[in-house]
Amino acid sequence: MTGALLVLGCARPPTARPNIIIVLVDALRPDHLGCYGYRLPTSPAIDAFSTEGVVFTEAVSVADWTKPAVPSLLTSLYPSQHGVFEGSASDTEGKITSDILGESLVTVGEMLQGAGYATAAFVMNAQLKAFLGFQQGFELFAEDLGEASQIIARFLAWLDDRPGDRPFFVYLHFLDVHWPYTPPPPYDTMFGEYASQLDLAAHDPKALRQRINDGELTLAATDVLHLVSQYDGEIRAFDDQFAELHAALKRRHVLEHTWIVLTADHGEEFYEHRKIGHGNSLYEELLRVPLVIRGPSATPGARVSTPVSLIDIVPTALDVAGLSLAPSLMGRSLRRGLEGGALDRRPTFAESRHKYDYARAIRASGCKYIESFKERSHDRNEPPATRFAPSRLRDPARFSLRRELYRLTDDPLETIDLSEREAAVVSTLAAALDAWAERLEGGGRGESGRRELDPATIEHLRALGYVQ
């Protein structure tokens, strides 16, 4: 809370502050958008929007799926700090529970609300329910809204009905591009039709994805093309809705004094490393995300190649709102890059934790280094934050370790592991990872707590392929 009070101490009068909208498209890969060089017309509206703002070409997430990534976006903390890693798991009594976003954490909604902003969230993702703590800082938290058109309609209705004397902060979370890929006509055939053994509408989505990822079902080239064509169709369907949103804001004369952040929580795998979906690894196809920011002082059409992270969104939002940045925030403001200046180059970090596995990665100087730890044994009653503490990870009696090193400038698809050949680079990056982890531990490691899921949430998660 001290950090939040520091943020609020420098507030400008409400009338001087811009509005802020975060548009998050779950599982959207940047390399499937025209403004990032994709050859197919999946995103004409997003491409046009990108010419009005700044495209960050090397933006990355801090995690490989929604549950840990979105809390990081909302708090500017890494997953090990906020403690939210697990989406659904059976406890010792057979109940299905999920990590919650702890009340002690301060979200960007709370920071801006305390500074006089009207705040609202319009969300479609069962991982981000209000009763799991994600409503913090939002005067209105509307969830389970359906497809993009419904989310946009609810947002615009709120926008039209709210008093006009306060700036607003809105978080929009769209699920239209998420697995399983079932775009409606004509989007289902817009990017080709391929013979495939995969019937995405008929199969249990979790079972199908698990069979592929476990190597029980091998995909042919046409299967991958089919998946990609359906994914691209979903992007185009969303893009048409995004065009409607942009036009509606323009008609309401909102764009002139509003910052809009378009991004994703993570990417998506299409068999690049023999897996599909997300939540599987820390490879580039899962960590790279789009980041396009448009606002009153942004340089139209600019492109920034300096690596940036999702944890930079909160500091940027606070900065453009004229608020001071609490030292507890792990990210940095991108405002200088938005306004034509140069950003300092910094390493970016990511981490992933699934049951008995923990992985962390660093991107620096054109290289990507990944450490994957697997528990040899564990005490189920010991909290994960303690089990996976940095001081324990290096103990070979507790964890096996796999190292991977890739030169992204030469090998962007991460196909050639150089960890055995370039020991000096591995040593340097491993030391940087250790220093980063120690900094997180020094600031306190989050233990989020868990809450039992209700039947409706479980069914939604089953439809998304998280629960079988």
pLDDT digits (tens, 9 = 90+) for 219-276: 999 999 999 999 999 999 999 999 999 999 999 999 999 999 999 999 999 999 999 9
Would the pTM of this model clear 0.95, i.e. be above it? no
Q: What percent of the chain has pLDDT over 70?
A: 92
CA angle, 21 as apex, 48 and 74 as ends, to 5°?
A: 125
- The backbone torsions φ and ψ at residue 298, rounded to the nearest 5 degrees and listed phi first, read -70, 150
What contacts 24+ positions apart, CB below 8 Å, involve 240-244?
Answer: 240/45, 241/147, 241/148, 241/149, 241/152, 241/176, 242/23, 242/45, 242/46, 242/49, 242/148, 243/44, 243/45, 244/149, 244/152
Q: With H, G, I as helix, E, B as strand and everything else as coil, classify residue 309.
A: strand
**pLDDT tens profile 384-425:** 777 888 888 888 888 999 999 999 999 999 999 999 999 999
Mean pLDDT for the chain? 90
Q: How confident is the model at residue 443 (pLDDT cuts 50, 70, 90)?
A: low
**How many of the other CB atoms lie within 10 Å of CB of 13?**
8
Torsion of CA 127, 129, 132, 134, to 10 degrees: 100
Six-digit token pair at 271? 């068999």
Count of alpha carbons within 13 Å of 363, Cβ hemisphere only? 24
Spell out a b/e string for 255-269, using b for 16 or more CB atoms within 10 Å of the CB, else e.
beebbbbbbbbbbbb
Residue 4's pLDDT band, with cuts at 50, 70 and 90, is: very low
